[in-house]
Structures are given as C-alpha cells and as structure tokens.
C-alpha cells in the first residue's frame, strides 16, 4: 500500500511543476504585502526571484513553504498545496527563507541529526556527506551558537541538501558572505542545478542572478512586474545593437530613415541603435541595397541590473511611461488563473518594450 502511494506521488511529482502560484495575496491588516502573485517555476529552472526590500519576496516564499497562510490564492509544489497537505506537500522540497536558523545550543551535527529525524530518519547517513559539501565537517562538533553568519548560511544549505531535494528554495543564500564565499555559493548552486535540481533563488545579487538563472520573476510592491526567460527580458528590454560598416556616415542616414530603428547614433566604436530583432533583419537588407557593407553587427543586451531598476524604479529618461508599463505588466501577471504563462510572458514583453 505504501509502495503504491509512493508510486502515485512520484508520478504526480513528475507531471506537476515545482512551483505554481496563482493569485497569491497576503494582507496584514491594512498592508498588502503580496498582491495577486503568479509564479511558474518549471522543472530544471534556475529561477531568480527578484525585487527590492519589502517587495513581498520573503512573504511569498514563506507562503510557498506553508509557513504563512495566504489571504487569497494558492501555491502548489509539485502539484501539492502546503495549506491542504501540510508536510506532505514539501516532499522533495528544501531550502530556507531569510537566514537559516538552528538550535544555537546544539552542535551542527546534532542539528542535522534532529532535522534528519524529522525527515523520517533516513537522511541521517548522509550527514557527513552534506557537511563535506559545505566544508563544515571539521567544525561539525561545535555548537552553532559559535558559528559565523557565513557558516550558518552554509549549514542552511547542508540542512536543505539533507532532504535530497528536487526543488531547492534559497532566500538570499549569499547574504553576509565574503567574496570567496559568494563565489563558492554560486559554484555550488550551479552544480546543484547541473545535477538536475530545480532552484528558486531569491537574491539581491543581480550579477549572481544574471549568471545563474535562466528564468526570473521580478516583484515590486507585492506584484509581479515581469516573469519569464531572462534572455527574453534582456533582449526585449535592452535590445541595443552596435554596427560597424564600410561607410558609417551613410549607414547612419539609412538607420535614421529605417522604420523600427531608434536612438541611432554615431560613436567612438561605430554606430549604435535600438531595435527589435525583426527590424534588424530589414535594416541589413536596406544597408545592402545602398551598397554599404556590414563589418560587424553585434547585439548589446541590457544588464539585469539595468532592467531591474527600469522595472522597479524607472529611470529619469523614461519616468512615467515606465511606471505605466509596470502597472500594465502587474495587471497582466496578476490576473491569476485567467492568464496562462505564455499570455503573461507576452504581456510582460510588451510592458518592457513600452518601458
């Protein structure tokens, strides 16, 4: 009977996405901490969950782990709702929100033994292994009360790995780490992802997210302002190009005359402009028709940092228009079950383009 149930669980787990949130809302009296958030984390994603402080990231992650009861909406992990199914919904899921916490009066090893026991006891034999992974084995017998912040972060990872997760939820794992610690954390996350573990990573380290993540959700004031592939966001949001040609002066005239080409300018390293991908194709034909040879045409994508600030703050040049685009995106992504992931992504792209 137990075997049958496990098989059913496994089958169900393979079909359902690691995280699927729909219309997630959390209200604390007058404060709306999370406002109709939809998330779609797919199997194998390294999914960045970004937003300024107070944007609702941690509250969302707490709801995902069943620690906080949503005011509205649902979240499912591999098809299971932690609110309905309790600890059963966390099968195959591990991680921490905010700083990982342990019993300061117990050693690291005893803390892990306790957590292994609460996972059914089977994980106990892997304690040495996970301590080795985070390089805490030599200090395993020491009380956690004497640990540095970085050591506790690493112990948090070890505690998560003890569950052999298929989904790892990490909230600011690199916070408080020194540069070498951050690099090691990135390496570890990359390796875990390469091993097939889906990672939901909340972080303020935007270069880290840009390096690690393939999909992102950006939240601001409790709402998702973008969700989708990071590459799409950068392509659609930045869409800058650099051109070197056989005749830059004439090429600049062509650029300015060509529809869909914006912000064309001449610079030290050739010409620069912004355009959508399909317009770049038309441009190359137009240049050919005027007998201008292309020496180099290279896309220059906006950094995640640029896009993050554009989506969450707006910049001076784009000001109100950007704010409107954020509102438009949030509406599109906040539509809960009414909007499919693809529709949401399209709406987001549009919003970024407008922005």
Partner 1 sequence: MSSAATTAPVLPPAAQAPGVIHTRRPSTLTAWRWELRKLVSQKRTYLGLGLAAILPLIFVLAQSLRNHRGHDQGNIFASHITQSGLATPVLMLLFLSVFMLPLIAALVAGDIVAAEDGNGTLKTILTRSVDRGQVFAAKTLAAMTYATIAVFLSATVATVAGVASWGFNNVVTFSGTVVSAPEGLLLVFAANACYLIPLLTVAAIGVLLSTTTRNSAAAVVGTVGLTILLFIVAQIPGIEGIKPYLLTEQYENWHGLLRTPTDWAPIWHSAWVCALYMGPALAAAYLVFLRRDVAGG
Which residues in this chain contact partner 1 in the complex, by CB under 8 A?
6, 9-11, 13-14, 43, 62, 65-69, 86-88, 90-106, 110, 114-115, 117-123, 126, 129-130, 133-135, 154, 157, 159, 161, 163-164, 166, 180-181, 183-185, 187-188, 191-192, 195-197
SS (H, E, C) the chain: CHHHHHHHHHHHHHHCCCEEEEEEEEEECCEEEEEEEEEEECCCCEEEEECCCCCCHHHHHHHHCCCCCCCEEEEEECCECHHHHHHHHHCCEEEECCCCCCCCCCEHHHHHHHHHHHCCCHHHHHHHHHHHHCCCHHHCCCEHHHCCHHHHHHHHHHHHHCCCCCEEEEECCCCCCCHHHHHHHHHHHHHHHHCCCEEEEECCCHHHHHHHCCEEEEEECCEEEEEEEHHHHHHHHCCEEEEEECCHHHHHHHHHHCCCCEEEEEECCEEEEECCHHHHHHHHHHHHHCCCCEEEEEEECCCHHHHHHHHHCCCCCCHHHHHHHHHHHHHHHCCHHHCCHHHHHHHHHHHHHHC
CB of 347 to partner 1, least distance (A): 31
Q: Which is nearer to partner 1, 135 or 315 (CB)?
A: 135
CB of 290 to partner 1, least distance (A): 49
C-beta of residue 72 within 8 angstroms of C-beta of residue 22: no
Strands 215-220 and 223-229: antiparallel
CB of 185 to partner 1, least distance (A): 7
Q: Which is nearer to partner 1, 192 or 252 (CB)?
A: 192
Q: Which is nearer to partner 1, 185 or 302 (CB)?
A: 185
Q: Which is nearer to partner 1, 6 or 342 (CB)?
A: 6
CB of 183 to partner 1, least distance (A): 6
Q: Which is nearer to partner 1, 91 or 325 (CB)?
A: 91
Q: Which is nearer to partner 1, 163 or 215 (CB)?
A: 163
CB of 113 to partner 1, least distance (A): 9
CB of 166 to partner 1, least distance (A): 7
Q: Which is nearer to partner 1, 188 or 354 (CB)?
A: 188
CB of 353 to partner 1, least distance (A): 37
Q: Which is nearer to partner 1, 148 or 290 (CB)?
A: 148
CB of 3 to partner 1, least distance (A): 12
């Amino acid at each position: 009977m137990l075997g049958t149930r496990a098989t059913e669980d496994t089958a169900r787990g393979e079909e359902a996405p690691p995280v699927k949130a729909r219309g997630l809302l959390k209200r604390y009296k007058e404060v709306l901490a999370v406002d109709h958030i939809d998330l779609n984390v797919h199997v194998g994603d390294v999914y960045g969950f970004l937003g300024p402080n107070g944007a609702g990231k941690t509250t969302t992650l707490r709801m995902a782990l069943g620690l906080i009861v949503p005011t509205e909406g649902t979240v499912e992990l591999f098809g299971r709702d932690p609110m309905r199914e309790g600890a059963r919904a966390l099968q195959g899921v591990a991680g921490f929100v905010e700083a990982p916490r342990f019993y300061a009066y117990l050693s690291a090893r005893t803390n892990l033994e306790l957590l292994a026991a609460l996972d059914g006891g089977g994980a106990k034999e892997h304690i040495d292994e996970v301590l080795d992974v985070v390089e805490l084995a030599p200090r395993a017998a020491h009380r956690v009360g004497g640990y540095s912040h970085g050591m506790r972060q690493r112990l948090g990872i070890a505690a998560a790995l003890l569950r052999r997760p298929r989904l790892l939820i990490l909230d600011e794992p690199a916070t408080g780490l020194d540069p070498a610690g951050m690099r090691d954390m990135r390496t570890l996350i990359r390796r875990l992802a390469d091993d097939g573990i889906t990672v939901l990573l909340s972080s303020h380290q935007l270069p880290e997210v840009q390096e690690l993540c393939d999909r992102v959700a950006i939240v601001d004031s409790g709402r998702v302002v973008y969700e989708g592939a990071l590459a799409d966001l950068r392509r659609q949001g930045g869409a800058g190009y650099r051109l070197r040609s056989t005749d830059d002066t004439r090429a600049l005239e062509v650029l300015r005359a060509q529809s869909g080409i914006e912000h064309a300018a001449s610079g030290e390293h050739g010409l620069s402009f912004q355009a959508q991908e399909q317009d770049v194709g038309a441009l190359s034909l137009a240049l050919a028709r005027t007998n201008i040879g292309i020496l180099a045409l290279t896309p220059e994508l906006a950094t995640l940092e640029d896009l993050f600030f554009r989506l969450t703050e707006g910049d001076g040049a784009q000001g109100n228009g950007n704010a409107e685009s954020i509102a438009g995106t949030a509406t599109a992504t906040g539509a809960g079950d009414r909007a499919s992931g693809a529709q949401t992504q399209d709406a987001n792209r549009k919003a970024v383009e407008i922005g």
